Amino acid sequence: MSWLSTSIMAQKGVAKGVEGARHKITIEDQGKFHYVYGPYATPVLEVEPGAVVTVETHDAFEGAITEVVDNPSSLLNFPFLNPQTGPIYVKGAEKGDALAVRIISITPRGAQPVGTTCMLSEFGGLVATGDTALLNAPLPEKVKKVVVDEDGVHWSDTLTLPYEPFIGTIGTSPQIEAISSLQPDYYGGNMDVPDVAPGSIIYLPVNTEGGYLYLGDCHAIQGDGELCGVALEIPATVEIHIDLIKGHGNSWPQLETEDKMMFIGSARPMEDAARIAYRELVRWVAAETGQSESDAYMLLTMCGKVRLGNMVDPKYSLAAGIEKKYLK
pLDDT in tens, 16-47: 999 999 999 999 999 999 999 999 999 999 99
Residue 319 lies in a domain: no
Residue 309 lies in a domain: no
> Are the beta carbons of 161 and 83 closer than 8 angstroms?
no
What's CA 232's distance to the chain center, in Å? 14
Alpha-carbon gap, residue 64 to 58, rounded angstroms:
10
How big, in percent rounded to 5, are the helix, strand and coil portions of the chain? 15, 35, 50
Alpha-carbon gap, residue 122 to 126, rounded angstroms:
10
Residue 307 lies in a domain: no
> Are the beta carbons of 214 and 78 closer than 8 angstroms?
no
- CA terminus-to-terminus distance, the chain: 18
Residue 285 lies in a domain: no
Residue 34 lies in a domain: yes
Residue 80 lies in a domain: yes
For residue 175, the domain's CATH number is 2.60.120.580
Residue 192 lies in a domain: yes
> Read out DSSP for 68-115?
TT--HHHH--TTS-S-BEEEEEETT--TT-EEEEEEEEEEE-SSSS-E
Q: Is 216 helix (H, G, I), strand (E, B) or coil?
A: strand
Residue 265 lies in a domain: no
Q: Per residue of the chain (328 residues), give pLDDT as tens.
A: 589 999 999 999 999 999 999 999 999 999 999 999 999 999 999 999 999 999 999 999 999 999 999 999 999 999 999 999 999 999 999 999 999 999 999 999 999 999 999 999 999 999 989 888 999 899 999 999 999 998 999 999 999 999 999 999 999 999 999 999 999 999 999 999 999 999 999 999 999 999 999 999 999 999 999 999 999 999 999 999 999 999 999 999 999 999 999 999 999 999 999 999 999 999 999 999 999 999 999 999 999 999 999 999 999 999 999 999 999 8
pLDDT of res. 328: 83
pLDDT of res. 1: 59
Domain that holds residue 9: 3-254
Torsion, Cα 307 323 265 211, to 10 degrees, reads: 120
When divided into structural domains, the chain yields a total of 1
pLDDT of res. 131: 86
